Amino acid sequence: MTYPKIAFIGAGSVVFTQGLLADIFAFPELGPAHIALHDIDAERLATAEAAATYIAGHLGARPLITAHADRREALSGADFVINIVQIGMGEATRTDFEVPARHGVRQTIGDTLGIGGIFRALRTFPFLRQLGADIAALCPGAWLLNYTNPMAMNVQYLRQATGLTRVVGLCHSVHWTMHDLSRLVKVPFEEITFRAAGVNHQAWVLRFEHQGEDLYPRLDALIAEDPGLRRRVRVDMYRRLGYYPTETSEHSSEYVPWYLGHPSEVERLRLPIGAYLGIIDGNVAAYRQTRDALAAGAEMEVAGTMEYAPQIIHSIVTHTPRTVYGNVANHDLIDNLPSTGTVEVPCLVDGSGIQPTHVGALPPQLAALNRTYLSTNDLVVRAALEDEPRHIRHAAMTDAATAAALRVDQIWELCNDMVQAHSGLLQPGLRAALKV
């Protein structure tokens, strides 16, 4: 058996790297893999290397672990590339919240759509172009497993800007939604049958069954009995649209025009404005705790995360069939969504790779929301591909939550301020402030 080389790009995201490595090393067939870690932050890279060594020892794995300040060294000859980079780190994310807040735009997570998602994409695209070129030159047969948000925009950009075809975006939202729903209706997760599809963070549970029984009526009864459940965005959307969304209420509120622009809805649905800023602080604290524990030789908890990337790697290497949910180009997968978009669908994985499955047409109300989402994505990608700064403003104008909060002139003013704030991270052609 040939053991794979797995490159972690952005390995300094130590907490996430730890979970993925725990999953990888839990598979005996992957224990001797070559783990190539890359990060531009020397301290974080050293911490990631120490964590990888600790986790391997704890789980009895014997991988080859290498650490690289040079991205190309990490990528050379890789079979799998896991991208977990966050361009600009916490400082840029704070800008994504603070500048829009001054203009009157509320956000909760800000990493997928909205002003936060748009500018997170625009500062990530230049890096993705470089990463794609390096993969094409150094490991053209590798599978790129992307975790970096905004997922759908990044996967579309990678496909169109770099020409890479072995690209899949991975997110745990479908898995954990179904895990939580099964617990809610008191059916073991292993016994439910489900099917979901749509776009990342706005996919839909199309089928939810136990031994042939539709579990949606059971969910309806629970919602009717529990006023607390009715004070959640995703439950409110489910009651009106007929299908449960596969992302948290905090995320889901940002992709539609109905909630964040109305203080009464923010209160009714208990929406935590700026929640992601607290998550950033928690991630930094967790990193420092890990760094200090490793330096002191203290014991650390080693826990798997049930993420898809390790399962995909194991299936391809061992020819073990699995079904995962992936974000891929909409090539004859969802009939009533644009073919240029990135969709989230069930994917079969085995020794031949990742094979997305055809879903057909979504219910029209669901497709309508997904098309709005994909239209914004497309304009952001076009802004970068065509070096057209007006498309940044066009994307913000079509974004549902932004358009619900601001007049069109205010949207342009906000975009000008965001461009200025992020100027050093954007490609040069997109840095201009624009007037009508």
For 111-134, the pLDDT digits (tens) are 999 999 999 999 999 999 999 999
| Residue 315 near residue 305 (C-beta atoms within 8 A) | no
Residue 417 lies in a domain: no
Question: Residue 433: what pLDDT?
Answer: 87
* Tens digit of each residue's pLDDT (9 = 90 or more) over 170-217: 999 999 999 999 999 999 999 999 999 999 999 999 999 999 999 999
Residue 355 lies in a domain: no
Helix (H) / strand (E) element for 8: namely strand 5-9
**Can you tell me whether residue 249 is helix, strand or coil?**
helix
Residue 131 lies in a domain: yes
More confident residue, 419 or 15: 419
Task: Examine the pLDDT at 2 and tell me if it is beyond 80.
Answer: no
Q: What is the CATH number of the domain that holds 162?
A: 3.40.50.720
* Tens digit of each residue's pLDDT (9 = 90 or more) over 271-327: 999 888 888 888 888 888 888 888 888 888 887 888 999 999 999 999 999 999 999
Cis-peptide, bond into residue 63, ω within 30° of zero? no
Residue 412 lies in a domain: no
d(CA 146, CA 169): 5
Q: Report helix, strand and coil shares of the chain as percent, to nearest 5.
A: 55, 15, 30
Burial class (CB in 10 A: 0-12, 13-18, 19+), 161: middle
Residue 424 vs residues 198, 363, 420, 429: alpha-carbon distances, Å: 34, 42, 8, 12
d(CA 150, CA 341): 13
Residue 429 lies in a domain: no
Tell me, yes or no, if 201 is annotated catalytic. no
Of 367, 369, 396, 368, the C-alpha closest to 380 is 396
Number of helical H runs and strand E runs in the chain: 17, 13
Task: Examine the pLDDT at 394 and tell me if it is beyond 80.
Answer: yes
DSSP state of 60: T
Torsional sign, CA 211, 212, 218, 219? positive
Q: Provide the pLDDT confidence category of residue 373 given band limits of 50, 70 and 90.
A: very high
Scan for tokens 């200090």, then name that residue: 292
d(CA 305, CA 307): 5
Alpha helices in 170-307, H assignment, sequence order: 173-184, 216-225, 233-241, 249-252, 263-268, 275-296
Residue 167 lies in a domain: yes
| Mean pLDDT within 331-341 | 96
d(CA 423, CA 415): 11
Question: Residue 292: what pLDDT?
Answer: 85
Task: Examine the pLDDT at 152 and tell me if it is beyond 90.
Answer: yes
Percentage of the chain exceeding pLDDT 70 = 100
Give the mean pLDDT of the chain: 94
Domain count across the chain? 1
- The residue annotated as part of the active site, out of 34, 58, 103, 172, is 172
Of 275, 200, 264, the C-alpha closest to 231 is 264
Task: Examine the pLDDT at 70 and tell me if it is beyond 80.
Answer: yes
DSSP letters, 206-226, are EEEEETTEESHHHHHHHHHH-
| Mean pLDDT within 91-103 | 94
Residue 117 lies in a domain: yes
Query: Domain containing 34: what range?
Result: 5-171+299-318
| Mean pLDDT within 372-396 | 98
d(CA 320, CA 30): 13
Q: Which residues contact 366 (CB under 8 A, 6 or more apart)?
A: 198, 204, 241, 243
Half-sphere exposure of 391 (CA within 13 A, CB side): 17
Indicate the length of the chain as a whole number.
436
Label the pairing between strands 342-350 and 353-356: antiparallel
Q: Provide the pLDDT confidence category of residue 1 given band limits of 50, 70 and 90.
A: low
Buried b / exposed e over 16-51, threshold 16 CB at 10 Å, is: bbbbbbbbbbbbeebbebbbbbbbeeeebbbbbbbb
Question: Residue 16: what pLDDT?
Answer: 82
Alpha helices in 84-211, H assignment, sequence order: 89-102, 114-138, 151-157, 173-184
Residue 126 lies in a domain: yes
| Residue 290 near residue 11 (C-beta atoms within 8 A) | no
